[in-house]
Amino acid sequence: MGLFTRDTQAIFWNNNRNAIQRMLDYDYIIKREKPSVAAIVAPTSSNKFDKFFFGTEEVMIPIYRSTAEAAAAHPNADVLLNFASFRTAYDVTMDALGYDQFKTIMITAEGIPERLARIMNKTARDKGVLIIGPATVGAITPGAFKVANIGGTIDNIVKSKLHRPGSCGLVTRSGGLFNELSNIIALNADGIADGVAIGGDRFVGSVFIDHLLRMEQDPNVKYMLLLGEVGGREEYKVIEAVKSGKIKKPIIAWCIGTIAQHFSSGVQFGHAGASANADEETAIAKNRAMREAGIHVPDSFNDLPHVIKGVYEELKGKGIIKDIEEPEVPNVPEDFAKALKAGKIRKPKNFICTISDDRGEEATYAGYPISSVATPDTGKTIGDVVSLLWFKKVYPRWAVDFIETVIKTVADHGPAVSGAHNAKVTARAGKSVVESLVTGLLTIGPRFGGAIDGAAYYFKYAHDNNMSPKEFVNYMKKQGVPIPGIGHRIKSVRNPDKRVEGLKKFAKDHFPSTPLLEYALEVEKLTTSKKDNLILNVDGTIGILMVDMWRALGYTEEEINEFIESGTLNAFFILGRTIGFIGHILDEKRLGMPMYRHPFDDILYDVQKAEEIK
């Protein structure tokens, strides 16, 4: 039998998404019923699974933190594909050898220390486990199972007839030449039945003779092709097996590196083991010895296709090789990202973003690189960022500074307000900063912070409709609505709010004009004549000055109305008060305050005995 079957499943060590997807694409074109990758081991991942495509559908492959967990959960997976780095590959392999279920372990890492490689290989042989590698692209049983990237792209696999079994058993060191020879065999014969690239390191786990003896026993393999190279003596083991009769099937063989005879000193040809240390290890000597043993050896690599075709035609003429019925090969759907990049498809967008872009070398705010507003040397502030991301404008300095002043003004108003209270109680319940912050933010609305929106709306409405202050007050009374932005629980004419005074002074010193503020102050004269705490409060001042700011910046009345209706003004309160809420949350964490419980004496209990229904 071949090395793998259509039921073979692997555990993939290290989440190499491209290699795994190529395996699943191969599964799809050969119409496997279940994916060849049963599980992924990713020690540093916190994910429980990853998604891959199986044709047009997605499948979830579970992820485990260790080989032990993966092996226990998938006892039928008898192949380990070790994609760990050369620093980790030895430990991963030795760990896997401790589990009886693995029959084959493939190792991609190149450069595992030779002493460790020899220990690893001996341990595997003692346990009867086949090691492919190190420094290999893997192996394939066409029509059944392929390891990771061997064979290249799906197009190359189909052209090389690796999607269904042929007649040749192919063994090489090189992964690249494995692909090339698969193509040559497909062009001159009917493809391969089993193929392995044993790896380029000096000490690999399984050598040529191991696989050729295995293929000798495989009835699907009718002849074999061995591609050796300069260096080492593994080809001589094959020669002895042919001479002794252990291998009876025809073998085609060639050792690359014949050009080495033209160099005056030893040269390593790519792989760690590709260097002749004696005359017998040269490619010319090994090719001559194999030819003398009755192996089909061409005169040069260029003659290899002719030899393959000759052996194939001879075996077919004897009836040993039968015609192969070509299976239907489904098309592998093209990845969306690749198709989109190639301009092959178009897709409507689900979201639209007009304020920022993170696709280039540097993300931008409204077309400006973040570095142009974020670093200290730019002189930019949070106000500049708000003007870009909220309004897509570069505001003048006075407007930016006003935004900054507003944010600082509304940042906090003590622990007793509903938002701060909620945030503190939640923090004392042991919740995170995010959870505690959200409970505070959820209280912001018509009764807490909402006066900013309301003040801007009603004062602007009155001003736009040329109402006198007295007409405005009477209008609001008829509406049954308290004037938003008017009134304070503590502050009054005799005890003014310093925050309001500061905002009014800033506007007087920096705003081009403040018509709505002047109108509001006339309204304040009427309201305070009735009660001295019916002053223009901080929420009202902010809302009114925001309208004056936007008018001075050239916005139309329709645009300003849209800002008000969309909640933009309340957003300033949310942004500023977030700073204060976080401060209270961190204060609770820092003080290590216990769970909050409200005192009994602050609750009016009015609990009546429930009526009994008979």
Active site amino acids = 271
**In this structure, are strands 251-256 and 364-365 parallel, antiparallel, or unpaired?**
unpaired
Tokens of 470: 């007295």
**How many distinct helices (H) and strands (E) make up the chain?**
23, 16
Q: Which of 108, 158, 165 is nearest to 140 (CA)?
A: 165
Cα distances from 439 to residues 19, 419, 499, 589, 597, in angstroms, run 46, 7, 26, 16, 17
Cα gap 163→156, rounded to integer Å: 10
3-state DSSP of 460-490: HHHHHCCCCHHHHHHHHHHHCCCCCCECCCC
| 3 state DSSP class of 57 | strand
- The structure tokens 């052209």 sit at 159
Cα gap 324→330, rounded to integer Å: 18
The total number of residues written for the chain in this structure:
614
Cα gap 235→19, rounded to integer Å: 31
Cα distances from 386 to residues 444, 477, 502, 560, in angstroms, run 20, 36, 21, 16
Q: Which helix (H) or strand (E) holds 158?
A: helix 154-159
Cα gap 110→204, rounded to integer Å: 10
Contact 170, 181 (CB under 8 A): yes
Tokens of 413: 């108003």
In the DSSP assignment, the letter for residue 296 is: B
Cis peptide before 165 (omega within 30 of 0): no
| CA diameter of the chain | 121
Identity of residue 32: R
Residues of 517-530 as b/e, b for ≥16 C-beta within 10 angstroms? bebbbebbebbbee
Contact 507, 517 (CB under 8 A): yes
What one-character-per-residue DSSP string does 573-613 give?
A: HHHHHHHHHHHHHHHHHHHT-------GGGS----PPPPPP
**In this structure, are strands 168-172 and 192-197 parallel, antiparallel, or unpaired?**
parallel
- The structure tokens 């191991």 sit at 210
Contact 94, 28 (CB under 8 A): no
Cα gap 607→612, rounded to integer Å: 15
**In this structure, are strands 192-197 and 79-82 parallel, antiparallel, or unpaired?**
unpaired
Identity of residue 272: A
For 168, list phi and psi in degrees, rounded to 5: -95, 140
